[in-house]
Structure 1
Amino acid sequence: MKYGKIVEGKFIDRPNRFIAHVEMQGRPETVHVKNTGRCRELLLSGAAVRLEVSDNPSRKTLYDLVAVYKENIGWINIDSQAPNKVVKEWLKKQDYDLVRPEYTYGNSRIDFYMEKGERKYLLEVKGCTLEIDGIGYFPDAPTERGVKHLRELTQAVEAGYTCMVAFVIQMQGITEVRPYTAMQPEFGVAWQQAVDAGVQMLFLPCLVGRDSLQIVE
């Protein structure tokens, strides 16, 4: 997955979920944050950040904050739209007969439906940006939607689907993701129930480039 023009700056603060102030060329600039999660351990005053220049000159904010530098880890992509994009690219390299995004199952919209011969698959994608002591964790904020998806996939296994959750690890050097039960115990319970039912948890490490994100095979 490639971005357009990338520029760098220093994070100042984040007044709300959608915007941040970034120092660029010695002056503050209001930018759009492409992640509504908390990212409190990442978006620290003075942290180096990367921004994509918008190709829409009429936008109120001309930059999208897409990555931040974390000591001892390196650059972390925090673009919440990136995981689905890189998984879509990755799935094209697999040997599925059919790949369909945004598939409605039950009361949820699952990210991908695939077929291989007579076998049917459901795949939900989650982006992981939270790292603690060399381990990735999800979620970094309570997510009722995430719990709902795990329960839908658990039921789908019983209906004959092969079900997976793909955790796109948006940083380098991390190869495992665990449920962050300290943030949301309910998610940990739903995770274990899903695993016990046969839902597969896929950990997909990424190569984080200056203007790109790619799943490492």
Structure 2
Amino acid sequence: MKYTSVKVARFIRRPNRFIAHVMLDNNEEIVHVKNTGRCREILQEGTVVILEEAKNTERKTKYSLIACYKGNVLINIDSQIPNLVVFDGIKEGKIKEFREVTKLSKEVVYGNSRFDLYFETNDQRGFIEVKGVTLETEGIAMFPDAPTQRGCKHIYEMIKAVEDGYAGFIFFLVQMKGVKYFTPFEIRDPEFTKALKLASEKGVTILAYDSIVSEDGITIGSPVEVRLKTM
């Protein structure tokens, strides 16, 4: 996935979850943040950030903040991107678990949830729920960075789908390279960790892949080991 027009800036502050102040071309600019998560570990004053210029010239903010550097690692924080990256990865045969897919659809309603992807192969049909991961500590990728009731709801709906005979996948897209493994962030959200562990026990497949991130794009990377917390 490629962004059409990007610029490099420096992060100043984030007064709320929707906007940030950055220094761009020696001017302070207010930009939209394409991620409502906390991102406190990476959005630090002075951090080099990547902006995407908005196509809509009538928008209040001219740019959106889409990525930032943490040391030498570039992290994509665009929460609208993971579904597309996984969708394209499946279409292009880059995700080994889905190389036999014959049908792939976005945003499919099941029960009380709308799952990100629906797929079919010659011998099964199922759902994929995609979660973007931007939090990394000492090489460990974690999700979520804030409590998520919605995330728990999706997991329990996925368990129900598996009980009804569908294949179910929770897919964590780590929006960076270089992590050692993925694990749910139990301290930040114990209920999500509990739900994810239960899902694994009930037959839901938990996957994680990293990403190849550049300043103007992001594509699917390689499988990442998943370690579930013991309760």
Residue 197 of structure 2 aligns to a residue whose secondary structure is helix
The Cα of 1:134 is off from its aligned counterpart by 0.8
Look up the match of 1:2.
2
Contact 1:175 1:205 in 2 (8 A): no
Q: Percent identity?
A: 47
Alignment of 1:133-172 (within 5 A): 133-172=138-177
Look up the match of 2:197.
192
Is 2:84 the counterpart of 1:79? no
Following TM superposition, where does structure 1 have runs of at least 4 consecutive aligned residues deviating by more than 6 angstroms?
Answer: none
Alignment of 1:15-54 (within 5 A): 15-54=15-54
Q: TM-score, normalised by structure 2?
A: 0.91
Unpaired runs of 5+ residues, structure 1, are none
Moved more, 27-36 or 155-164: 155-164
The Cα of 1:175 is off from its aligned counterpart by 4.9
Structure 1's 99 and 188: CA in aligned 2 closer, same or farther, altered over 3 A? Answer: same
Deviations 1:75-107 (A, max 9, x none): 100000110110110121233111011011110
Residue 142 of structure 2 aligns to a residue whose secondary structure is strand
Deviations 1:161-202 (A, max 9, x none): 111011111011025211101011100110110000111111
Look up the match of 1:114.
119
Is 2:216 the counterpart of 1:211? yes
Q: Distance in 1 between matches of 2:180 and 2:151?
A: 21
Q: Distance in 2 between matches of 1:53 and 1:175?
A: 33
Contact 1:175 1:204 in 2 (8 A): no
Q: Distance in 2 between matches of 1:81 and 1:87?
A: 12
Look up the match of 2:128.
123
Deviations 1:102-128 (A, max 9, x none): 011110000011011241111000000
